[in-house]
């Protein structure tokens, strides 16, 4: 069974009739990594936001099925607890809330929904420290408030740490490479690669091919003008890099 | 009914004549409604008070008659008829109390459960008629015994009037004079009971003093009076209140708290106030008009107020510090949450008199629903306050688009070497923050609680550990239903 099945998805930004997504279809099977590439304004972020259930978007047609469930019928927090994780392009600051506290709250929210008891404080610390070490997240960052005063690289690493802790089935990475220098990019990509498992699916959204040198996708989709104009294997990303988006967007316009 | 008749007779006896024609339609053990000198004489006689205290009460009452209710606070409520209230109730009879928790408002029980309050305490808080043998009573007894051995006096103020009249006469009304303000003056005339603490010279009180340990004496009524004296070089931390919502049949509460810190002494006073706020329209909620003031009399003394205010329909409260001693320090840390139709006008006063006195004010106000909240703070640098400093930070957080937050700072400096800093911010919980939490699987109400707790962190972390944990839970519960 497909992990994520998007069929003919149409969406607009709320209070606006202008369509952003104009019939997107894609299917991710467990263990697969799909990349969505596209120029600015193609609808990449809209796609990730609609999957995560962010308020402010209206789905005007089509469906999203996740693990056999109608994803669009679920609230954003339900989707998250069901295993959908969005790594934000711009992670949000929450002053006064320690990263560790935030993670524990999130983890326990999921456990509660699954009818499990809250995680033991000691088990949680062990799990967090192990993950943090693996991702090169220093201990003091766990004590600092969520994303407050974090550098671009720290923010993205913190996102991957959260992903590792929450063990989602589907990871959507929204331009995770933006704002990262090459060293930070490698660290983040290594972290993501470590989370590739036969059960987990990933949707990697990016503007540049660069990230895909490190997170090697099984399938690449080119998104332009709210439609997937071409899909292929990883060589498609290289083709894009060589030819630019122009070649593909013109093809759709024609 | 016999007891009621007894009460009436006693009043007649005390006042010498049965002047006011009290009618007999009284069902509980209360003095008749209304306020007059006879009622005050009655209260004083009931407590077997010395003559000077009765005189003081009467002086306050006569002065009160010349005063008018303050109207400068940004709160609105129907006029209070002071003659339509009871000013003395005998220790409550258990007959009218609920027989078990089954008879208590399920909404209240739900809140107790969320706060993780043990069943016995739930019964106590809800006013269930339980046998006198509390688990906590025996705890309280050992606790008080230990304190006594160290020389700490911790008892009800009525008991202190009898046992330590010199201390009471010296300090009662010395920080908040009987003529201070409308509500404090009323309290001076009719106060029923409260706490008294004296910490001897050089002693660092090793445990938190909590009203909780005075459970067996907790029916202190609506006009509570507290006096805490920290003698030279001593330290005491005092906890007032309770995170659990408390119901009370009296709508008007006008307490007075006086603190005195002598040379090198420190008092830390923490309050969690969660009086019944009324229904969603504010009906039936408590009016909490409190005067709290601490005097840093001695050099290098320190008084620190921490308050978490989530209850009451109307709150009017400005815990203050009078910094008389050179190098003395005053602190005020406050979290005030108003939801639904609650109104709060709260803040502090820092009066710098001595040299190099310092004060720090951190106020966090959260407003949700249709609530209105005002921070009102005075920082006054007197002419002799050489080198005095104040830092004030006032942050407001708004939830929804129908609530209000107002900041009214009064800053007066009469000494050119004094420094006063004031910072204020107003913010909202952003949709981005909320969505970020939701996307991590945190339900909306928990997300709001988490974000608000983060906002209040600087203040909550000044609370003693156990209280802080409860206060965090309380923050979440107070804001239930405020989003979405």
- In tens digits, chain B (484 residues) has pLDDT values of 344 555 555 544 444 332 332 322 333 356 777 888 988 998 888 888 999 999 999 999 999 999 998 888 888 888 888 888 778 765 544 455 566 667 666 666 676 666 666 665 666 555 554 433 333 344 555 677 788 899 999 888 888 999 999 999 999 999 999 999 999 999 999 998 888 999 999 999 988 887 654 433 344 457 889 999 999 999 999 988 766 555 555 678 899 999 999 999 999 999 888 777 777 776 777 888 999 999 999 999 999 999 998 878 888 999 999 999 999 999 999 999 888 888 889 999 999 999 999 999 999 999 988 888 999 999 999 999 999 999 999 999 998 888 889 999 999 999 999 999 999 999 888 889 999 999 999 999 899 999 999 999 889 888 887 778 778 888 877 777 676 5
| CATH code, A29 | 3.40.50.300
User: Nearest Cβ partner of A77 from B443, B453, B458?
Assistant: B443
Q: What region does B21 belong to: left with phi over 0, alpha with psi -120 to 50, or beta?
A: left
Average pLDDT of the residues in A170-180: 90
Q: What is the pTM of this model?
A: 0.81
Query: Which token pair is B58?
Result: 């009467």
Instruction: Tell me if chain A has a CB within 8 Å of the CB of B446.
Output: yes
Judged by CB atoms closer than 8 Å, whether chains meet at B454 and A97 is answered as yes
Name chain A contacts of B428, Cβ cutoff 8 Å: none
Quote the longest CA-to-CA distance of chain B.
73
Among residues 150-189 of chain A, which lie with CB inside 8 Å of chain B? 162, 166
Query: Helix, strand, or coil here: A209?
Result: coil
Measured between beta carbons, the chain B residues lying within 8 angstroms of A95 are 454-455
For an interface test with A, give the residue of B116, B436, B439, B443 to mutate (most A CBs within 10 A): B439
Q: Which residues from A are below 8 Å from B454, CB to CB? A: 94-97, 145
Q: Return the pLDDT at B42.
A: 87
- Considering the domain boundaries, does residue B477 fall inside one? no
| pLDDT on residue B76 | 83
Q: Which of residues 342-401 of B touch A (CB under 8 A)?
A: none
Nearest chain B Cα distance for residue A180, angstroms: 21
Instruction: Give the closest residue to B234 by CA, choosing from B172, B169, B140, B303.
Output: B303
Judge: A109–B443 Cβ closer than 8 Å, yes or no: yes
CA–CA gap between residue B348 and residue B363 (Å, rounded): 9
The 3 state secondary structure assigned to chain B is CHHHHHHHHHHHHHHCCCCCCCCCCCCCCECCCCCCHHHHHHHHHHCCCCHHHHHHHHHHHHHHHCCCCCCCCCCCCCCCCCCCCCCCECCCCCCCCCCCHHHCCHHHHHHHHHHCCCHHHHHHHCCCCCCCCCHHHHHHHHHHHHHHHHCCEEEEHHHHHHHCHHHHHHHCCCCCCCCCCHHHHHHHHHCCECEEEEECCCCECCCCEEHHHHHHHCCCCCCEEEEEEECCCCEEEEEEECCCCECCCCCEECCEEEEEECCCCEEEEEEEECECCCCCCCCCCCEEEEEEEEEECCCCCEEEEEEEECCCCEEEECCEEEECCCCCEEEEEEEEEECCCCEEEEEEEEEECCCCCEEEEEEEEEECCCCEEEEEEEEEECCCCCCCEEEEEEEEEECCCCCEEEEEEEEEECCCCCEEEEEEEEEECCHHHHHHHHHCCCCHHHHHHHHHHHHCHHHHCCCCHHHHHHHHHHHHHHCCCCCC
Least confident of A70-79, A95-104, A230-239, B89-98: B89-98
Instruction: List, as ranges, residues 93-112 from A with C-beta within 8 Å of B.
Output: 93-97, 101-102, 105-106, 109-110
Residue of A nearest to B457 (CA): A96
Task: Look at A76 and B439 and tell me if their CB atoms are within 8 Å.
Answer: yes
What's the structural domain count of chain A? 1
Q: How many domains does chain B have?
A: 1
Q: Is the pLDDT of residue A33 over 80?
A: yes
- Which pLDDT score, from 0 to 100, does residue B28 have? 38
E strands, A14-134, are 19-28, 33-37, 57-66, 69-70, 84-87, 94-98
A-chain CB neighbours of B458 within 8 Å are: 96
Distance of CA B53 to the CA centre of its chain: 23
Contact between A92 and B431 using a beta-carbon 8 Å cutoff? no
For residue A18, give how far its alpha carbon lies from the nearest alpha carbon of chain B (Å): 23
Chain A residue numbers with beta carbons less than 8 Å from the beta carbon of B453 are: 96-97
Whole-Å CA distances, B29 to B87, B91, B99:
12, 8, 19
Q: By the CB < 8 Å criterion, does A145 face chain B? A: yes
B267 within domain boundaries: yes
- A–B CB contacts, 8 A cutoff, strictly below: 77
Does A220 have pLDDT greater than 50?
A: yes
Gap from A248 CA to chain B (nearest CA, Å):
33
A76: nearest CB among B438, B457, B458: B438
Contact A86 B444 (CB under 8 A): no
Confidence of residue A209 (pLDDT cuts 50, 70, 90): confident
Mean pLDDT for chain A?
91
B296 lies in some domain? yes
Q: Is A54 on the interface with B (CB under 8 A)?
A: yes
For B118, the domain range is 106-430
Chain B contact probe: residue of A86, A95, A118, A167 with most B CBs at under 10 A: A95
Query: pLDDT at position A14, please?
Result: 81
Contact B446 A110 (CB under 8 A): no
Asked whether residue A221 carries a pLDDT value surpassing 70, the answer given is yes
**A168 alpha carbon, distance to own chain's centre:** 10
Cα(B174)–Cα(B259) distance, rounded to whole angstroms? 10
- B453 vs A97: CB contact, 8 Å cut-off? yes
Give tens-digit pLDDT for A140-157. Answer: 999 999 999 998 888 999
Here the ipTM equals 0.95
Contacts of B106 (CB under 8 A, 6+ apart): none
- Range of A125's domain? 4-253
């Amino acid at each position: 069974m497909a992990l994520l099945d998007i069929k003919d998805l149409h969406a607009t930004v709320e209070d606006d009739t202008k369509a952003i997504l104009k019939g997107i279809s894609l299917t991710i099977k467990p263990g697969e990594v799909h990349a969505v590439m596209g120029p600015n304004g193609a609808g990449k972020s809209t796609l990730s936001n609609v999957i995560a259930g962010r308020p402010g978007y209206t789905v005007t047609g089509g469906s999203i099925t996740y693990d056999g469930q109608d994803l669009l019928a679920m609230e954003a927090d339900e989707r998250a607890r069901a295993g959908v994780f969005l790594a934000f392009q711009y992670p949000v600051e929450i002053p006064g809330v320690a990263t560790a506290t935030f993670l524990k709250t999130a983890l326990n929210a999921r456990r509660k929904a699954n009818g499990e008891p809250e995680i033991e404080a000691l088990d949680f610390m062990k799990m967090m420290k192990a993950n943090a070490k693996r991702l090169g997240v220093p201990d003091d960052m766990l004590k600092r408030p969520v994303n407050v005063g974090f550098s671009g690289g720290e923010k993205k690493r913190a996102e991957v740490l959260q992903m590792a802790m929450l063990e989602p089935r589907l990871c959507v990475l929204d331009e995770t490479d933006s704002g990262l220098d090459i060293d930070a990019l490698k660290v983040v990509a290594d972290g993501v690669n470590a989370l590739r498992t036969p059960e987990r699916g990933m949707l990697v959204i990016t503007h540049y091919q660069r990230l895909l040198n490190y997170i090697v996708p099984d399938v690449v989709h080119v998104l332009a003008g709210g439609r997937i104009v071409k899909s292929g294997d990883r060589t498609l990303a290289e083709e894009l890099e060589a030819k630019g988006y122009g070649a593909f967007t013109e093809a759709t316009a024609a | 009914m016999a007891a009621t008749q007894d009460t009436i007779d006693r009043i007649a006896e005390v006042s010498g004549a049965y002047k006011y024609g009290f009618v007999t339609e009284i069902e509980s053990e209360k003095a008749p409604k209304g306020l007059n000198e006879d009622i005050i004489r009655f209260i004083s006689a009931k407590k077997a008070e010395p003559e000077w205290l009765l005189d003081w009460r009467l002086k306050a009452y006569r002065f009160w008659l010349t005063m008018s209710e303050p109207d400068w606070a940004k709160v609105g409520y129907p006029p209070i008829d002071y003659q339509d209230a009871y000013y003395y109730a005998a220790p409550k009879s258990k007959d009218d109390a609920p027989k078990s928790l089954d008879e208590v408002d399920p909404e209240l029980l739900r809140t107790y459960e969320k706060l993780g309050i043990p069943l016995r305490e739930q019964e106590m808080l809800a006013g269930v008629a339980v046998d006198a043998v509390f688990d906590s009573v025996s705890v309280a007894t050992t606790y008080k015994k230990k304190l006594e051995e160290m020389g700490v006096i911790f008892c009800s103020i009525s008991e202190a009037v009898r046992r330590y009249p010199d201390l009471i006469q010296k300090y009662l009304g010395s920080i908040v004079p009987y003529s201070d303000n409308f509500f404090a003056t009323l309290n001076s005339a009719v106060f029923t009971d409260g706490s008294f603490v004296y910490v001897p010279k050089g002693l660092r009180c090793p445990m938190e003093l909590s009203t909780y340990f005075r459970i067996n004496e907790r029916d202190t009524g609506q006009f509570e009076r507290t006096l805490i004296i920290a003698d030279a070089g001593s330290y005491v931390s005092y906890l007032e209140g309770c995170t659990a919502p408390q119901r009370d049949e009296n709508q008007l509460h006008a307490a007075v708290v006086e603190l005195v810190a002598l040379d090198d002494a420190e008092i830390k006073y923490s309050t969690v106030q969660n009086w019944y706020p009324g229904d969603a329209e504010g009906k039936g909620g408590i009016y909490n008009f409190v005067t709290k003031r601490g005097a840093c009399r001695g050099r290098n003394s320190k008084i620190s107020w921490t308050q978490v205010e989530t209850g009451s329909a109307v709150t009017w409260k400005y815990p203050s510090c009078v910094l008389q001693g050179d190098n003395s320090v005053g602190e005020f840390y406050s979290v005030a949450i108003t939801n639904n139709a609650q109104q709060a006008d709260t803040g502090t006063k820092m009066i710098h008199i001595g040299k190099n006195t310092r004060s720090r004010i951190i106020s966090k106000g959260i407003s949700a629903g249709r609530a209105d909240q005002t921070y009102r703070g005075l920082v006054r640098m007197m002419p002799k306050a050489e080198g005095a400093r104040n830092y004030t930070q006032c942050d407001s957080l708004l939830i929804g688009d129908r609530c209000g937050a107002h900041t009214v700072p009064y800053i007066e400096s009469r000494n050119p070497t004094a420094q006063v800093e004031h910072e204020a911010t107003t913010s909202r919980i952003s949709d981005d923050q909320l969505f970020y939490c939701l996307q991590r699987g945190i339900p909306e109400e928990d997300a709001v609680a988490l974000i608000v707790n983060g906002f209040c962190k600087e203040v909550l972390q000044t609370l003693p550990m156990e209280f802080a944990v409860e206060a965090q839970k309380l923050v979440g519960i107070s804001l239930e239903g405020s989003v979405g």
